[in-house]
A and B are shown apart, each in its own frame.
Chain A
Amino acid sequence: MNNKLKVYRAMHNLTQEQLAEKIEVTRQTVIAIESDKYLPSLGLAFKIAEFFKVKIEDIFSHKENLNEN
């Protein structure tokens, strides 16, 4: 799973702290999502997509590695 949260945040000229406040999470969570260390719940993913007024798949995408067991 990878995401373009950092790109969308930069496009909207927001800091991690500001985005965290808007989507009601901590700054650590935004950092963790951006660095792909934490996979957000479906609810939070929808909230992020709604905040940026885009589809959820525009921000989050699932790339399956077929060679991976």
Chain B
Amino acid sequence: MNRRKYQQFRIIVMFFIFIIVILSITLNSYLLAITGVSTGLIFITLVRSKAKIKIDEREITVREKAAQMTYTIFTPTIGIGAFLILLFASGKLPTAKNEFHYLESLGVIFAYLTLFLIVLYAISYYFLSRKYGGGSDEQ
């Protein structure tokens, strides 16, 4: 199987997963969603390993840049989102506080998610920096 066939196959499997998820939402069945998604992912992984699809350095560079961009956009967005939600939930803004009981919990979850991302980034940075020769005093 070449790369083009693999990509076509992946689109079909993604479509299958999409249909299963829509169906599970309609039928209100979590089990169906979990089964469909995991089956699809296992299937893609198996085909990928059998087809021996190579990931070259350009693709790795693209992935790195995409991950960096995602982190740069996502972390401040949910951080600011958490701050605004908590401000909103605290009643300091002129809003009907009692109408949104879940807001404080949501704000706290977002705040912890932001912290988790920052800590994860710091830990990954530390270990990757060591792996690629940073932090060493050897001459």
Indicate the size class of the contact surface on chain B: under 10
| Contacts of A1-43 to chain B: CB distance below 8 A | 24-26, 28-29, 32, 38, 40-41, 43
Measured CB to CB, the residues of B under 8 A from A are 3, 54, 56-59, 61
Task: Point out the residue from B3, B54, B57 that lies within 8 Å of A44, measured CB to CB.
Answer: B57
Total contacts A-B at CB 8 Å: 23
In the bound complex, do residue B57 and residue A29 qualify as a contact, i.e. CB atoms below 8 Å apart? Answer: yes
| SS of A interface (majority) | loop
- With both chains docked as a complex, state the minimum distance between the C-beta of B13 and any C-beta of chain A, in angstroms: 21
Q: Which chain A residues lie closer than 8 Å to B57 at the CB level?
A: 25, 29, 40-41, 43-44
What is the bound-complex CA distance between A38 and B58, given in angstroms?
7
In the bound complex, do residue A28 and residue B54 qualify as a contact, i.e. CB atoms below 8 Å apart? Answer: no
- With both chains docked as a complex, state the minimum distance between the C-beta of B6 and any C-beta of chain A, in angstroms: 12
In the bound complex, do residue B54 and residue A24 qualify as a contact, i.e. CB atoms below 8 Å apart? Answer: yes
